[in-house]
Amino acid sequence: MKIKGLKQIILNGGATLNSTGKQVSYNNGYQVSKKDCYILNVKNLNKVLKAVNKTLASLATNDFCGLWVDNGLIYIDISEHIARLSNAMQIGIERKQKSIFDWCMSRCICLEI
């Protein structure tokens, strides 16, 4: 990934990237975090870019790099796509996640843990 692409992701509020660094989106299913990697200030673009590229380099074939921006911070994690809501919720709770992402509704589902 390059600075220009990262700036656009930050402006958009986040993205999900495949192992080659391309943005992905699904019409259905759920994105569930496997590992929280970084929380960084969005203004430090070089540090964020390094963290994103390091995360991308560590991805397994079916893993994704998730980025989302909130209150001047960018959160970077490794996630997976899960088809069924019940499975996604169970896995998210087991991993002590606060939420999972619903691709169909384009929103987060809060998990009570």
User: Average pLDDT over the chain, rounded to whole?
Assistant: 94
The mean pLDDT of 15-32, rounded to a whole number, is: 95
- The Cα-based distances of 77 to 6, 60, 97, 99 in angstroms read 15, 13, 11, 13
pLDDT of residue 53: 96
Whether residue 112 has pLDDT greater than 90: no
CA distance 12 to 9: 5
Burial of residue 30, with CB atoms counted within 10 A of its CB: 0-12 exposed, 13-18 middle, 19 or more buried:
buried
Amino acid at 110: C
Q: What are the tens digits of pLDDT across the range 53-103?
A: 999 999 998 999 999 999 999 999 999 999 999 999 999 999 999 999 999
Q: Which residue has the tokens 């589902």?
A: 109
